[in-house]
Amino acid sequence: MKTPDKLQLDFGFDIKPMDKLNPKTITKKKAQKNFVFEFMDCLSSPVIVYESPWKDDIPKDLLGKITMSRLLCLMKNEEMASITEVVAYMMPRTFEAPMHSEWVNIYTWCGLQYANMFNNSEKREDMVTAMQEIAPTELSSYEQGLLKGLRIWIYNQRRKALKVRLKNDRNKEIKLERNAQGSLFDN
């Protein structure tokens, strides 16, 4: 009887090559922490606006819609600021001085998107119609790149601010606990 030179055994295991494995395996606990942080980010992160004396003139109506816009972005799995946040950020800048045409197009386009999303009342139809005459129907690829960069920057800044605030709150809690414990033993 002949013996084969090579013998290949198939045990039925489907093994993926090492380069195809996902290195980011997230535990259930970490996934829950991420979800909680994402939700806190939507509900309680500060609104990032252009540093200007005009920042107090942003309409309260616009600021009130930011939470809803963030939740919509979270549902779409967009890791960027919402269009409403972009309008709120850029508004004080528009009051300061004229901007380049690309940024004017971005601002007016974002304003129109905001108006179409939130201002559905009949009395605002004239405003939306006027905005449609001014705003571009779509942005160029360069303007889209600028807008995406701005949205990511605002998103990162607001998350950094939330992390700092959470860290400061945690440090205050620890100090209060230590003070309370110390007073127990002072008597």
Domain-located, residue 161:
yes
How far, in Å, CA of 164 to CA of 49, rounded?
A: 17
| Residue 50 located in a structural domain | yes
- Give yes or no for a contact between 140 and 148, defined as CB atoms under 8 angstroms apart: no
Q: What is the predicted pLDDT for the residue at 12?
A: 62
Q: Which domain holds residue 99?
A: 45-181
What pLDDT score was predicted for residue 36?
A: 87
Counting every residue written for the chain, the total comes to: 187
Decide if 12 is inside a domain.
no
Q: Is residue 26 part of a domain?
A: no
* Averaged pLDDT for residues 56-78: 92
Q: Which residues contact 142 (CB under 8 A, 6 or more apart)?
A: 102
Residue of 57, 101, 63, 55 whose CA lies nearest to 84: 63
pLDDT average, residue stretch 17-33: 66
Task: Output the average pLDDT for the chain.
Answer: 84
69-98 average pLDDT score: 94
Question: Mean pLDDT over residues 155-161, rounded?
Answer: 95
Does residue 7 form part of some domain?
Answer: no
Residue 68 CB-half CA count within 13 A = 8
**pLDDT in the model for residue 172:** 78
pLDDT > 90? residue 34: no
For the stretch 88-143, pLDDT in tens is 999 999 999 999 999 999 999 999 999 888 876 666 777 788 888 889 999 999 99
Going by pLDDT thresholds of 50, 70 and 90, the confidence category of residue 11 is low
The total number of structural domains in the chain stands at 1
Specify if 163 maps to a domain.
yes
In a domain, 137, yes or no: yes
Judge whether 174 lies within some domain: yes
Percent share of the chain, pLDDT over 70: 79
Tokens of 164: 């700092």
Please say if the pLDDT value at position 28 is more than 60: yes
